[in-house]
A and B are shown apart, each in its own frame.
Chain A
Amino acid sequence: MTQFKMHLLVCGGTGCRASESEKLFHNLKHEILEKGLENEVQVITTGCFGFCEKGPIVKVMPDNTFYTQVKPEDAMEIIAEHVIKGRQVHRLLYVNPETEKHVADSKHMGFYRKQLRIALRNCGFIDPENIEEYISRDGYAALAKCLTEMTPAQVIEEMKKSGLRGRGGGGFPTGLKWEITSKSQSDQKYVVCNADEGDPGAFMDRSILEGDPHSVIEAMAICGYCIGASKGIVYIRAEYPLAVERLKIAMKQSVEFGLLGKNIFGTDFGFEIDIRYGAGAFVCGEETALIHSMEGLRGEPTIKPPFPSVSGYLEKPTNVNNVETFANVPVIINKGAEWFASIGSEKSKGTKVFALAGKINNVGLIEVPMGTTLRDIIFEIGGGIKDGKKFKAVQTGGPSGGCLTEKHLDIKIDFDSLTAAGSMMGSGGMIVLDEDDCMVSIAKFYLDFTVEESCGKCAPCRIGNKRLNEMLEKICDGKGTMKDLDLLRNLSHVIKDTSLCGLGQTSPNPVLSTMDNFYDEYLAHIVDHKCPSGQCKALLQYVIEAENCVGCTACARNCPVNAIAGERKGVHVIDQSTCIKCGACLEKCKFNAVFIK
């Protein structure tokens, strides 16, 4: 990287690519060639910067200028102004919404200030398709150190001391897992990286693989060294084409550099990695289901024990960790367990990546030390609620998690505190909800998901979740009874108590947590036949207030089902039997005449 005077880092994450960052990249390259700057300025595509809300992102090094929402046509100006004349393109800088001042350096942005990037350390800094850039940032130093200076037992000890816990959802101590697998006797063992991220609203694993694939490869090799495995397999979602491609490139480069293959760093240790594709089954996040899927079977979980550490892939001892967990490993080896253990809370060390989304200003991928409060995440990093609305709840842990409220905002989040509060860390989805969101509908949304994703093997999950979902639907339709609430609660507990795998054991959490925290909303649906946030279609009516209606006909013209009648300049009326409650009239009315009853 050193021979260039300047580097333009263009975000190549999926979010930014969806906003034409590839075209932007090519335009920048083209401009540089045009201006004959190709020996002085380098343009590279990096992984995700995290600030997806403001993408596409372009970062200029060494001056750390952070451009947001850059369009392909902005390339010429960036080159002409910033690169050639050294003047920042003011209009592309981030604007602090509170002070309304432009901020040039990302370090000073609310979004980044409280973040600490360990797992995401290289995302947005390096070209993920260039192994040399990874190496220049201490890449493969940890592997070298393990192989040449440490015994497997010492590495495992270091991992245990670090306090790293599995980032996939369970929070099982990683070092301990490695130790157990290392003690299983077998001629062949496997290291499996679970990259079948299925939580609807979490994309950290993909971002890591897209932005820093080598960190995962390096960690898998270290794990292989510790447990005595010469083979690794990445089980990745087929819907992640970019991550797959970059992983493949990285694997190829690692082989070329002798960092995968036989006799790595001249030692006896050899390690190779294969890719297996998921095929769209959330339950395959569960390790036994994942292993069956890798074996070409239906991804149904089996009862544990035996644990994969004893009998896993092809009945051989298998260590399964997820992408984010692995991404932490090289840093722990390089900087030491004590350094890592000094970050975070008492029982949860290090950081956690969250996919922050929903009704929040700064949607994106963030990484914070364990123990950060929800308030800091939502209001500082996330920049508060979108459109000045009121915060209502934050859903963590995806379909396994729960909804937390105002009163939970000062909880220092880690594995245990979230569980104690009735939610879950899960894989790190974090969806912020505002006053417009109906909590019964949110619970139903997750149950829809669970019903679709239940494998069908065990009765409580297969049928129980379906019944939960039907009862929620009944409530949303205004047909619920008080008895349904008792049934909902009982069934939720039974499903948690009796389901075979983690999917069913956690699937009622969205129901229980919304019932605990928003009981009034359930009552409103059942007793008053009202949806307080106006989301449940069956419970709402769009009506036109005669006093406000000026007869502009905007509503009638935009009604997709012609349910609105009225003369020009006369009061309009909505025919309730035709109305499909799409809300188009409400959106189009400029006179506040349409309202929800």
Chain B
Amino acid sequence: MEMINIKIDNKDIKVAPGTTVLDAAKSVGIKIPTLCYLHLHDFNITNKPAGCRICVVEVKGRRNLAPACATDCYEGMEVNTHNIRVLNSRKTVLELILSDHPTDCLICPKSGSCELQTLAQEMGIRQIEYQGEQSHYKEDTSPAIIRDVDKCIMCRRCEMMCNDVQTVGVLSAVNRGFMSVVAPAFEMNLDHSVCTYCGQCVAVCPTGALTEVDHTNQVIRALADPSKTVIVQTAPAVRVALGEEFGMEPGTRVTGKMVSALKNLGFDYVFDTDFAADLTIMEEGTELLDRITRHLKGDKTVKLPILTSCCPGWVNFFEHQFPEMSDIPSTARSPQQMFGAIAKTYFADKLGIKRENLVVVSIMPCLAKKYECQRDEFATNGNPDVDFAVSTRELAHLIKQANIDFNILPDQDFDKPMGESTGAAVIFGTTGGVIEAAARTAYEIFTGKTLEKVDFKQLRGMEWIREATVDFDGTPIKIGIAHGLGNARKLLQDIKDGKSEFHAIEIMACPGGCIGGGGQPLHHGDTSILMARQKAIYSEDSGKAIRKSHENPYIQTLYAEFLGKPMSEKAHHLLHTHYFDKSKPVEIDE
């Protein structure tokens, strides 16, 4: 390729055509500050409205300053990234942004991980010369997400995620000029909108404008209540990300330390959502096989493809946007809810306590889980199956609050019986994992043979939409995988148009699946972190003694002692659900 010669801060550089000044500078160790810019490399997602103007640089021969993120290099270009004109402009613009931003940093939920705060610190802002009116908006608290829009800096990242990536379309820039902000239509509350609570807006928000609803105080209160038995379940994706909050390398597996920390926090039993993931495979896998078998026998009434249903963001999405297709997804509840249902029946019985005195906490990489556990259908007499869903980030806060030095904790094992799981359950945490886990079990049940090679490599990866055919001993099973709701929409549209040839489709709302969930440690645009988490998930799987869900001995016991068999009436009652048409016009806030 023909290379372009440019000069940045008097350094001669050769770059490929199409390289931005920002990337060119980065390649020689010059870090130009950015704010609105977001580039999710592995997903090919870029947000560069060139709106914040923090990354401006001087380009010789150009009248005004150029935004480095959105300016391509050209032959002979001479760039200065830190002369007085540039620094003064950058500082003034940052002061302007701060002049329209609350300065309650000490008590802001984003304190310590706020990109605006970091920038102000790095640029040595000590006073804000330009003071004036601040823009104020209504605060909005939903079951999962809090919008404190006074802190919005119009970077538009959330708008991009909500519209371009997720195609949910709840958020848009609204108003004009000084009052412009990103908000739902009519500035209504999120819980009146078609928000799926996927939390991808929260995951990319550089400031405290979008944060999760914090349940840590309720958890602490429950732990302190002697009348309650408090148990906890941890989702698979949490163990490969939590370490980042304590300065560990992305991709560090901290399962044992996490269990220790939870025990130190005072949970009576530390269990694993993975146990319920194995249970999900039993139910969903059986349903899948049932539909496929009937289909192969020529039953025209059977609906195919079957869609996975363990992702609550995805469930919210189709309830709002494709309600007419709600008979296609599996009726299996998500692992979180299966866990809760079993805990408050089977396990409570075992302990001999009332469900009201058993508090189920889940640690989730996800914000939609907060909403999911509050759904009416997942409660008995007003008592929810899962009481609190806290995010990976919230767990890190809890650990820090409890003065626990996470890094030196010894490894400990999950408690029995609901802490035992297989490798199949672990991989639920990444895109492609649920369907691979299902395939491992379904293969053996369908063919009656032992699956020798459990790794279905063709189902793995980070491609937005993946297709693979799995050979069930002569019967080709066509599988589709999508992560990111925009990609899910494409597959759904194909089904709607009768063009889909898949038998089964796995859908995860978040890019990367749960490893990239809205409740995970913030990646600040570095997608290599997600890649490392994914790698860690697969290595956790391959290190497991048992790697097929139906071989989990505690699951076998559960069926023997309590449920009977998959899809039994009891299983149906406790482990399956139904969906609602939420497409009706929303109430407009008074």
Contacts and interface: CB of A to CB of B under 8 A. Distances in A.
Q: Is A in direct contact with B (CB under 8 Å) within the complex?
A: yes
A490 B88 CA distance: 9
A136 to B, nearest CB: 46
Contacts of A453: 176-177
B93 interface: yes
Contacts of A462: 154, 177-178, 180
A527 interface: no
A292 B400 CA distance: 48
Interface string B67-109: 1001110000000000001001100110011011000000000
A298 interface: yes
Interface string B153-175: 11000000000000000000101
Interface string B48-76: 01111110100000001101001110000
Contacts of A460: 53, 92-93, 96
Chain A CB within 10 Å, residue with most, of B51, B71, B175: B51
A498 B94 CA distance: 12
B57 to A, nearest CB: 11
B100 A463 contact: yes
B176 A459 contact: no
A327 to B, nearest CB: 29
A451 interface: yes
Interface string A454-471: 111111101110110010
Contacts of A458: 50-53
Interface in A487-505: 487, 490-491, 494, 496-500, 505
Contacts of A97: none
Contact of B99 (A456, A467, A500): A467
B11 to A, nearest CB: 24
A467 B96 contact: yes
Contacts of B85: 497
Contacts of B131: 467
Contacts of A490: 88, 92
A459 B180 contact: no
A118 B453 CA distance: 83
Interface in A419-473: 451-460, 462-464, 466-467, 470
B30 interface: no
A333 interface: no
Given A457-B154, A463-B97, A464-B96, A499 B176 contact: no
Nearest to A453: B177
B50 A494 contact: no
Interface residues of A, number: 32
A306 to B, nearest CB: 10
Chain B CB within 10 Å, residue with most, of A300, A302, A303, A462: A462
A305 interface: yes
Contact of A498 (B65, B99, B154, B173): B65
Interface string B108-135: 0000000000000000000001111100
B519 to A, nearest CB: 29
A455 B180 contact: yes
Given A456-B154, A497-B89, A303 B176 contact: no
B72 A459 contact: no
A419 B50 CA distance: 27
A353 interface: no
Nearest to B64: A497
Nearest to B65: A497
A191 B129 CA distance: 46
Nearest to B50: A303
A440 to B, nearest CB: 17
A454 B132 contact: no
A463 B134 CA distance: 9
Contact of A455 (B96, B99, B100, B176): B176
B96 A454 contact: no
B173 A494 contact: no
A281 B176 contact: yes
Nearest to B179: A456
Chain B CB within 10 Å, residue with most, of A459, A490, A491: A459
Contacts of B71: 303
Contacts of B176: 281, 453-456
B132 A500 contact: no
A466 B133 CA distance: 8
A454 B178 contact: yes
A454 B64 CA distance: 19
Nearest to A299: B176
A30 B376 CA distance: 78
Contacts of A451: 177-178
A471 to B, nearest CB: 8
Contacts of B52: 458-459
Contact of A467 (B64, B130, B177, B180): B130
A99 B488 CA distance: 81
B67 A303 contact: yes
Nearest to B69: A303
Contacts of A497: 56, 64-65, 85, 89
B96 A463 contact: yes
A453 B179 CA distance: 11
A303 B71 CA distance: 9
B541 to A, nearest CB: 44
Contacts of A298: 173
B177 A459 contact: no
A456 B178 contact: yes
Contacts of B50: 302-303, 458, 500
A457 B133 contact: no
A394 to B, nearest CB: 25
A498 B93 contact: yes
Nearest to A494: B92
B154 A487 contact: no
Given A298-B173, A303-B50, A499-B53, A459 B93 contact: yes
Chain B CB within 10 Å, residue with most, of A458, A491, A494: A494
A501 B92 CA distance: 18
Nearest to A505: B64
B549 to A, nearest CB: 48
B129 A487 contact: yes
Given A298-B173, A452-B177, A457 B51 contact: yes
B56 A498 contact: yes
Contacts of B64: 496-499, 505
Contact of A466 (B53, B92, B178): B178
Given A303-B67, A305-B72, A453-B177, A466 B93 contact: no
B134 to A, nearest CB: 10
B89 A498 contact: yes
A201 to B, nearest CB: 20
Contacts of B65: 497-498
Interface in B130-159: 130-133, 153-154
B74 to A, nearest CB: 10
A490 B89 CA distance: 9
Chain A CB within 10 Å, residue with most, of B100, B129, B131, B132: B132
B177 A456 contact: yes
A464 B97 CA distance: 9
Interface string A84-106: 00000000000000000000000
A498 B178 contact: no
A455 B89 contact: no
B354 to A, nearest CB: 55
A387 B464 CA distance: 73
A300 B173 CA distance: 10
Given A458-B51, A463-B100, A490-B88, 8 more contacts: A305-B72, A459-B154, A462-B154, A463-B99, A494-B92, A494-B93, A498-B53, A500-B50
8 contacts: A454-B176, A455-B177, A456-B173, A459-B153, A463-B130, A494-B89, A497-B65, A498-B56
Interface of B: 49-54, 56, 64-65, 67, 70-72, 85, 88-89, 92-93, 96-97, 99-100, 129-133, 153-154, 173, 175-180
Interface of A: 281, 298, 300, 302-303, 305, 451-460, 462-464, 466-467, 470, 487, 490-491, 494, 496-500, 505
A-B pairs, top 3 by smallest CB distance, nearest first, are A456-B180, A463-B96, A454-B177
